[in-house]
Amino acid sequence: MSFFVDNWILFFIAITSGAMLLWPMVGRGGGALSVGTAEAVRLINREKGVVIDVSEPAEYAAGHAAGARNVPLGKLDGAKELPTNKTLPVILICASGARSSRAAAQLRKAGHEKAVSLAGGIGAWREAGFPVDKSA
């Protein structure tokens, strides 16, 4: 018992660092609504996933994932650009991943079973070396 008392600061640091490692997973609800770039490409190629960029039009024009459709977050409800087949994967992307996370939750509530956000947004897409289009 004296070992724990004498080294309480080390135990505190170990517990704190462990909690910090687990926090991102807990904060995203286990990560169920977000995917990395590799998983996003797998959904696009193997499951006919549709990429929806929820950025504003100016952000979209500055650079977006090649083949992505632009539907700003505020206009997502009932947008014609969304797939009518609600079992198809919908990969949502924005500048950082914050808006796309909200959009994924919104689409899941609307019945899109496989709506996911791209973790890291367009920055992660670029960093992975995937094609970026700068036309509107």
What CATH number did the domain enclosing 122 receive? 3.40.250.10
Task: Looking at the structure, tell me whether residues 20 and 36 fall in a common domain.
Answer: no
Task: Looking at the structure, tell me whether residues 98 and 79 fall in a common domain.
Answer: yes
Domain containing residue 5: 1-27
Residuewise pLDDT in 10s, the chain (136 residues): 788 788 888 888 988 888 877 766 555 444 458 899 999 999 999 999 999 999 999 999 999 999 999 999 999 988 899 999 999 999 999 998 889 999 999 999 999 989 999 999 999 999 999 999 887 6
The count of other CB atoms within 10 Å of the CB of residue 82 is 20
Task: Looking at the structure, tell me whether residues 36 and 89 fall in a common domain.
Answer: yes
d(CA 103, CA 115): 8
Model pTM?
0.75
Task: Looking at the structure, tell me whether residues 41 and 14 fall in a common domain.
Answer: no
Task: Looking at the structure, tell me whether residues 22 and 64 fall in a common domain.
Answer: no
Which conformational region is residue 18 in: left (phi greater than 0), alpha (psi within -120 to 50 degrees), or beta?
alpha
